[in-house]
Structure 1
Amino acid sequence: MEPNYQQQTLMGATGMELVLALYDGAIRFLYRAAQCIEEQDVRGRRIAVSRALDILMYLQARLRPDLGGSTAQSLSDFYAAMFTLTLEASHYESIEQFHEIIASIRNVREAWVVVARNPDASRVLPRELRTKEELFSAPPPSSLNEEAVSSRWSA
């Protein structure tokens, strides 16, 4: 089976592009959940919410508090809050709450866009979100100075 266009695009993506793609996926599924409420499609809403929650859990599980420090903790808290609010929005079938969650996730996504402009940012990404080039070109995190590491995002 030959990979489709989207799969081929992701195979060539950098670690930061993969993080942004995860945020885009979460946003897309949250929009779908809101649409399902309008269409009174309970099954579709549950599937969309489940996929959005899977992405949030994946992002949270990949955080590196040893490298990201307080930033990683803030992101962990953010993902936990979005998880809880998403469950709540689904339970109450609140389109407005889904849109608030989407807005919050978009804000953090835009912060990642800013971080992606920093060439050293990929060094703090988890190994599974780095390309081969990023894995072999970046020095190991232990060789980075403490001050530089504490000021970076990590997910």
Structure 2
Amino acid sequence: MAIRNPYSGFNQYKQNNIMTATPQELTLMLYNGAIKFVNQAILFIEQKNVQKSHNAIMRASDIIIELNATLNMDYEISKGLRPIYDFLVEKLTEANIKKDKKILEEILPIFTDLRDTWKQAMELAKKK
């Protein structure tokens, strides 16, 4: 008798959400993922788990690097986002090297502001 993975249904649901999401929804998912990984990194630093904190910070950093790489510089907003993304990657790197949760706590509001602003923009766009 085969053992069934209890998470397989949930994983399939997540995969379907990603595959059917609009580019705007994918960006929102990325912001949410970055926030999740920064929060995890803070927790892992508190627990003195160097490897897990490193992994979480790297995942948050990878998300921001991807968002930065895919900016369409034809739009004025992209020119404003680029230095913010560069700053976040720099601070994530510094936090990772020092294993400093204070740095992560200082930049976490930037992540949430970006996510919340993006969410508002999506809602405004739907009304048009």
TM-score calculated relative to the size of structure 1 = 0.70
- Higher RCO structure, 1 or 2 (CA under 8 Å, sep 6+): 1
| Distance in 1 between residues matched to 2:84 and 2:39, nearest whole Å | 19
Residue by residue, what CA displacement relative to the aligned partner does 1:23-76 show, whole Å, maximum 9, x if unpaired?
01111111111111111111111111111111011000000112x13x111101
The answer for the alignment partner of 1:22 in structure 2 is 30
- Aligned with 1:62 (options 65, 70, 85): 70
- Aligned with 1:33 (options 23, 41, 44): 41
State the percentage of identical aligned residues. Answer: 30
Partner-residue secondary structure (3-state), 1:116: helix
- CA shift for structure 1 position 115: 1.1
Given that residues 50 and 99 in structure 2 are in contact (C-alpha distance below 8 angstroms), is that contact kept between their aligned partners in structure 1? no
- Aligned with 1:89 (options 89, 95, 99): 95
Q: CA RMSD in A?
A: 1.8
| Distance in 2 between residues matched to 1:27 and 1:55, nearest whole Å | 10
Partner-residue secondary structure (3-state), 1:26: helix
The answer for the alignment partner of 1:100 in structure 2 is 106
The answer for the alignment partner of 1:116 in structure 2 is 122
Which segments of 5 or more consecutive residues in structure 1 lack a partner in the other structure? 121-155
Aligned length: 118
Which segments of 5 or more consecutive residues in structure 2 lack a partner in the other structure? 1-7
TM-score calculated relative to the size of structure 2 = 0.84
- CA shift for structure 1 position 118: 3.4
The answer for the alignment partner of 2:81 in structure 1 is 75
* Bigger shift: residues 88-97 or 39-48: 88-97
| Distance in 1 between residues matched to 2:16 and 2:43, nearest whole Å | 28
